[in-house]
């Protein structure tokens, strides 16, 4: 199944991530931190893993 997201929607969502988290996705360190936090959160919630181990 293919998902289509409009460019404006993607920009809006990325801006919301920056606004809420205070992290800039253009910064490598911030992206890594968000990825680690997301993985821990999904593991603790018992949801499907985002990344294979």
pLDDT confidence of residue 36: 93
pTM equals 0.56
* In a domain? residue 1: no
pLDDT confidence of residue 47: 60
Dist. CA 30–CA 38, nearest whole Å: 12
pLDDT confidence of residue 19: 94
Token pair belonging to 49: 């893993």
Give yes or no for a contact between 1 and 9, defined as CB atoms under 8 angstroms apart. no
Task: Look at residue 51 and tell me whether its pLDDT is greater than 60.
Answer: no
Interior CA angle at 45 toward 40 and 50, to 5°? 55
Better pLDDT: 48 or 17: 17
- The predicted-structure confidence for 1-27, as pLDDT tens digits, reads as follows 677 889 999 999 989 989 998 998 889
* In a domain? residue 18: yes
* In a domain? residue 50: no
- Number of structural domains in the chain: 1
Q: Domain range holding 32? A: 7-45
* In a domain? residue 21: yes
* In a domain? residue 2: no
DSSP state of 50: S
């Amino acid at each position: 199944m293919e998902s289509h997201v409009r460019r404006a929607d993607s920009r809006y969502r990325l801006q919301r991530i920056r606004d809420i988290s205070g992290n800039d996705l253009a910064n490598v360190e911030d992206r890594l931190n968000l990825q680690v936090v997301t993985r821990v959160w999904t593991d603790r919630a018992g949801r499907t893993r985002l990344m294979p181990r």
